[in-house]
Structure formats: structure tokens, C-alpha cells
Chains A and B, each alone.
Chain A
Amino acid sequence: MAALMQNEVFQVALWAMVKVGIILGVMLGVVSYLIYAERKICGHIQARTGPNRVGPLGLLQPIADVGKLLFKEEFTPAGANKIIFHIAPILAVFPAIVTFSVIPMGPPPMFVVTDINVGLLLFLAMSSLGVYGITLGGWSSNNKYALLGGLRSSAQMISYELAMGLSTIPVLLRSGTLSLSGIVDSQGGAYQIGGTTLPLPNWGIFHWYLVLPFFIFLICSFAETNRAPFDLPEAEGELVAGFHTEYSSMKWALFFLGEYMNMIVICSIIVTLFLGGWHGPGPAILGIVWYLLKLFALLFFFIWVRWTYPRLRYDQLMGFGWKVLLPASIANVVIAAVWLYWRANA
């Protein structure tokens, strides 16, 4: 046993496992209180109080909700493809958890599980696998509303993935690396322009050629997480409840969990790419605090948008993705590349 503890590979694996355990536990806790926050904020936006009966300020509401979901009846519709019907909720959750392994939550190596040099590609790969959970859930339910919701979501996510991937390219051009820790490192220090130091942090968003990609990425992340104003896969006015119409009990809860985990992951990626990651005033150890502050601000923004904007029509959604966001992000790639090349060689 002592020899095993000395083994370097074993140590790395053990630490990774411990971090994964912590992240999973914290994520589940954050997700349940994110749902509470969403209900509370939406309540106040609609001039009511939101949950306030279970515990002080309704703080025990998430526990009551999970308890209710666990004890509900599990229902599988007749004619459903049983195996795929069971696998789909798992597929909705796992990409989000995997992506969290590469997000730098503070100064490395303590606050990042693993720093691979294709971290951003891992995020894109996992977000493209995230389509399967919803599509298969919709198809395997043997319900036409669920199928329509699933097909809509796959079309929507594929369309917006393109603009999302392209809007990250200017960030990569600036940092010169695909590693998320490397991208965060490139945003440290003070903002300098032609030798003069400005009283601004060196975050991506403060560079003019990254402003448009920031907004494109933000809009695409609403579409990728299937949230309003792009929540067409579950448009209840026309599709009952969309892809998860036939799901009940914990399987439905897994879809819910997946949606909120995806939200946390995509907000973390926005923080990493455009908002300086864990950089902020004070010593480096405070990095995790800054990261969490930025993350929660973005999550609040997501909730705010969901409860204040109406849903788009389906053709508007597709037209906006393909005819506005995609050309804009391509043009921005060209402009950013020319500018960076000119500045490096001028």
C-alpha cells in the first residue's frame, strides 16, 4: 500500500478522482439551488414571491423537490424503445460533467482537474454530443410531440454550434493555444495598448475584436442550452412539453439536471474565454472567488433573459442562426486575423 501511495501515476489519478468527487458533489448542490434561484428570480420578475413555504425563505424547497421526484412513479410509454428511453437522460447529463474536468476554476494545479492542451476542443466535442440526449429522448418516447421537440433541438443545436465554434477562433488567435488554462493566462495582468497601461483588466471582452464574438457566443449558448428565447424543443404552447413529454420521476429530473449543468458549464466557458477566467484583484488564491462571482453573475443574466424575452418563431431562429450569426462570426474571424497579423508585423 505504501508503495502504491508513492507511485506518481497513482497519486495523479487519486487527486483527479478526489477533485472529480468534489466537483460532482458541488455541482449537484449548485444545480439544486440554481433551480431555487431561478424560481425565486422569476417570481420577483413576475411580481410574486416564488417558493417561500419549505424552510426559511423556502430554502429547503430543492430538497423537497428532489424527494418528490425520487418517489414519483417511473412510467415508460407503450411502444417506446426501452433501452434508448433509459439511456437518453444519462446522455443528457454526462457531456456537462466531462467538460467540467478541463475548466480552470482557479490558479492551476489546485483548482483544475486536468489541463489538456485541447481543452476548448473537448468542450466543443462534448457540446456536440449533448444533442444526442435530447434527440434520442424525443425519438424513443414514441410520441409525436416529443419527436418534433427532439428534431427541433438537433437542428437548432447543430446550426448554432457552427457560429459558436467560429466565435471562439478570435480568442484562440489572441492566446495562441487551445488549452483553457493557457487562454486564462493570456488574459492576466494589466491592459496595455502601445506601451501605455490602461486601468482595465486584460480580459478578452475589453479587446475590440472580441466584443462581437462575446455576444455571438452568448447568444449561441442560449440556443445550446435550449433556454428562452431559444427554448423551441420544449415550446409548451405547441409541443406539450417537447422532448421530455413522456419522461417522469428521476429520468425527467436527469434532463432537468443536464439543462442546468450545461448552463453552468457554458457560463464557465464564457468566463474562461472572454471574462478573464479566475483573474481579478488580490492574491491568486482568491481566483476561485472571482471565478465564482463571474459565473454567478452570468447565471443570473441567463435567468433574467429567460423570464423577460418571448420565444422566437422557428423560422426566425434558423434565419438568425444561419443568416446573421454565422456570417458575422466569419467576418469577425477575418478582421481579427488581419488586425493581429498587422499589429504583430507593423
Chain B
Amino acid sequence: MVPYLFLGFAGLLIATALMVVLHKNPVTSALFLVLSFTSLAGIYLLLQAEFIGMVQIIVYAGAIMVLFLFVIMYLNLQHDVEKGAQIAVRRGIGWMVGALMLLFAGLIVRNGGFSPGPVQAVPPSLEGGNAQAIGRVLYSRFLFPFEITSILLLVAMVGAIVMIKGRPAADGAEGEKE
């Protein structure tokens, strides 16, 4: 059962990820990205990482992509803003980076860094499942990185507010409204 589910989710993940890049309409691309996030969550669930799977949906599919969609809808992007040459250069860089990534990934697989085949999931022995396990690790061994991350997020939030408030007077009135 699990291998078939894995194949299904993995196939969906790759197909939707490709559609994100290949589709012309930005809103549709964003929706395919949502689908690929949810299929990634499915793979997490198959690996018995149910906490990560659910958080993946809440944070990425639920919160971040909704804001993305929000912005795309506001901008109403119908056609390409950039000129032909710019697009060609960007595409060339994209192809090169993609080919390099594929090369490195292939090298790693070939040198046995990752062995293809089914992965054995190791669920934590705690009663509360891996939500409890992650909590324990996060608040003991990784407490410092955890707190640093929260300070980083706080700085980002303050920065966003300052950027809105700190405009010159002409624009300031508009910024004050929100």
C-alpha cells in the first residue's frame, strides 16, 4: 500500500512542480504550487512525520500561498512585463542552474550518498508521537537556534512595519491607513 501511495504522491509532486514553472497563467502556477505542497505533505505522512506534514499544509499551503495568491490577484498579471531578450537571458540562466543541480544530484546518488529504494520510517517511541518528540528536541538541544529564529522573525516584522510607516509625508497618509 505505502509504495503505491508514495509513487502517487511523488508523481503528483513532480508533475505539479513542473506545471508551476511551465504554466503561462501566474494564478494557475500558484495553485499548482499549492498542490505540490500538499503532495509533499502526503509524502511526510507516509514517512510517519505527521506533525511536519500538517505544519507543511498550515504554513505553506494555507498561509504563505494565500498571501502569494493575494498579491498576484492584486497585480492582475496578464502578460509578461519584461522584453524578449531579458526573458531569454533569464531562461538561459535557469537552464544552466537546473542542469548543474541535476548533475550534482546525479553525482550524489551515484556515489551512494542516497540509496534508491524504500525508506524505513522510524517513528519516535514517545506516546505523543513526533509532535512531542520535536517539542522536546526544540526546547532542549536546539533551544538557542529556536530563540534566534524567533528574534529574526520579530526583526522582520518590525522591519515591515517601519517600511510602511517611514514613508515621506505624501505617501505617509496612504501607509497610515492600514
Inter-subunit contact A121/B55 (CB<8 Å): yes
Binary contact track A86-127/B, C-beta < 8 Å → 1, others 0: 000000000000000000000000000000111001101100
Binds B, one of A129-137, A235-243, A327-335: A129-137
Given A124-B58, A128-B57, A151-B73, A158-B50 contact (CB < 8 Å)? no
Binds A, one of B3-11, B63-71, B113-121: B63-71
Give Cα A158–Cα B74 distance, bound, in whole angstroms: 17
Inter-subunit contact A147/B1 (CB<8 Å): no
Residues of B within 8 A of A83 (CB): 28
Given A84-B27, A118-B131, A176-B128, A131-B50 contact (CB < 8 Å)? no
A1-24 contacts to B (CB < 8 Å)? 9
Q: A81 within 8 Å of B by Cβ?
A: yes
The number of residues on chain B lying at the interface, defined by a beta carbon within 8 Å of a beta carbon of chain A, is 25
A259-312 contacts to B (CB < 8 Å)? none
Inter-subunit contact B51/A121 (CB<8 Å): yes
Contacting residue for A151 out of B53, B54, B63, B70, CB 8 A: B70
Given A84-B27, A121-B51, A151-B73, A135-B66 contact (CB < 8 Å)? yes
Q: B33 within 8 Å of A by Cβ?
A: no
Inter-subunit contact A178/B128 (CB<8 Å): yes
Contacting residue for B70 out of A117, A118, A155, CB 8 A: A155
Give Cα A118–Cα B131 distance, bound, in whole angstroms: 8
B26-69 contacts to A (CB < 8 Å)? 27-28, 31, 34, 50-51, 53-55, 57-58, 61-63, 66-67, 69
Inter-subunit contact B73/A178 (CB<8 Å): no
Q: B129 within 8 Å of A by Cβ?
A: yes
Contacting residue for B62 out of A9, A128, A136, A176, CB 8 A: A128
Residues of A within 8 A of B69 (CB): 132, 135-136, 154
Inter-subunit contact A118/B73 (CB<8 Å): no
Q: A177 within 8 Å of B by Cβ?
A: yes
Give Cα A119–Cα B131 distance, bound, in whole angstroms: 11
Residues of B within 8 A of A122 (CB): 54
Give Cα A154–Cα B62 distance, bound, in whole angstroms: 10
Residues of B within 8 A of A84 (CB): 27-28, 31
Inter-subunit contact B54/A129 (CB<8 Å): no
Inter-subunit contact B58/A117 (CB<8 Å): no
Q: A145 within 8 Å of B by Cβ?
A: no
- Measured CB to CB, the nearest residue on chain A to B61 is A129
- B25, B63, B70 pick with most chain A CB within 10 angstroms: B70
Inter-subunit contact A125/B129 (CB<8 Å): no
Binary contact track A312-342/B, C-beta < 8 Å → 1, others 0: 0000000000000000000000000000000
Q: A139 within 8 Å of B by Cβ?
A: yes
Residues of A within 8 A of B70 (CB): 135, 151, 154-155
Closest Cβ of chain B to A183, distance in Å, is 12
Give Cα A83–Cα B105 distance, bound, in whole angstroms: 36
A38-81 contacts to B (CB < 8 Å)? 81
Inter-subunit contact A158/B55 (CB<8 Å): no
Inter-subunit contact B50/A117 (CB<8 Å): yes
Residues of A within 8 A of B63 (CB): 128, 158, 161
Contacting residue for B54 out of A125, A131, A135, A150, CB 8 A: A125
Give Cα A303–Cα B73 distance, bound, in whole angstroms: 33
Closest Cβ of chain A to B43, distance in Å, is 15
Inter-subunit contact A125/B62 (CB<8 Å): yes
Residues of B within 8 A of A131 (CB): 62, 66
Give Cα A147–Cα B61 distance, bound, in whole angstroms: 21
Inter-subunit contact B50/A116 (CB<8 Å): yes
Closest Cβ of chain B to A155, distance in Å, is 7
Residues of A within 8 A of B53 (CB): 118
- B34, B55, B58 pick with most chain A CB within 10 angstroms: B58
- A139, A155, A176 pick with most chain B CB within 10 angstroms: A139
> Shortest 6 CB-CB distances between A and B: which pairs?
A128-B62, A121-B54, A125-B57, A117-B129, A118-B50, A125-B58
Q: Could you list which residues of chain A lie within 8 angstroms of chain B, going by C-beta atoms?
A: 9, 81, 83-84, 116-118, 121-122, 124-125, 128-129, 131-132, 135-136, 139, 147, 150-151, 154-155, 158, 161, 176-178
6 intermolecular pairs with C-beta atoms under 8 Å apart: A116-B50, A117-B131, A131-B62, A132-B69, A135-B70, A154-B66
20 further A-B pairs in the complex, CB-CB below 8 A; given A139-B73, A151-B74, A158-B66: A83-B28, A84-B28, A84-B31, A116-B50, A117-B128, A118-B53, A118-B131, A121-B54, A124-B54, A124-B62, A125-B57, A125-B62, A128-B57, A128-B62, A128-B66, A132-B66, A135-B73, A151-B73, A154-B66, A158-B63
